[in-house]
Amino acid sequence: MSITKKLKFAVIYGSARSARQGIKAANFVVRKLEERAHDVALVDSQAYDLPLLDRMYKEYEPGTAPEDMQAVADILGAADGFVIVSAEYNHSIPAALKNLLDHFQSEYLYKPSGIVTYSAGPFGGVRALINLRAILAELGTPSIPSAFPISQIQNAFEADGIALDAAYDERIVKFLDELEWYANALRRARDQGACSESAPVQQQMCRG
């Protein structure tokens, strides 16, 4: 798939575990996006000190948000799209990832997301994928139809994201082609007209 312009992507990964394996998948995605000449930033919950959610970024006066929160907001705000890398914990996503995602809102709007899930077993975290699609839709970053589940993550990649099985290098192509298509299409639409940065209608109804 031909790309007319360089895109900016944020790869978002959240895990608080000391022996976490998903960082390998996140590094793999970063590597593959960079091979396509895109600008890529890894947003890792262990690299940015965000507290358990009390105040969202938007609830701070301009210039007063904590330094790490501001840094993440700047990355997300500049991105044309996102890749969310998630484990599966009890049919859902890790608390560290959910906490990271929930700090922000308008930074996601009208931009696509792609979902990468993983597990130590054979199913690749697909039950978390189902849960994550609903979360991302609510945040305003609809996920693309294709997803990228990874089974037996502990055996799939080197620490720096090099695939140990060439099948992953082949499978990621369609996933990233699709993400690029949506990112290009939505960027053109954003460039053509301003978009509302208010919360989705159902959130406004619930919050009053």
Average pLDDT in the chain: 92
What is the average per-residue pLDDT within 110-115? 98
Count of alpha carbons within 13 angstroms of residue 65, beta-carbon side: 21
Determine the Cα–Cα distance for residues 85 and 49; give it in Å rounded to an integer: 18
Position 91 confidence tier, pLDDT thresholds 50, 70, 90: confident
In 6-115, which ranges are continuous DSSP H helix? 22-35, 67-78, 95-102
pLDDT average, residue stretch 183-205: 79
Return the domain boundaries, the chain.
8-207
Tens-digit pLDDT profile for residues 159-181:
999 999 999 999 999 999 999 99
Report the CATH number of the 8-207 domain. Answer: 3.40.50.360
Mean pLDDT of 140-161: 95
Q: Is the pLDDT of residue 111 over 50?
A: yes
* Statement: the pTM of the whole predicted model exceeds 0.85: yes
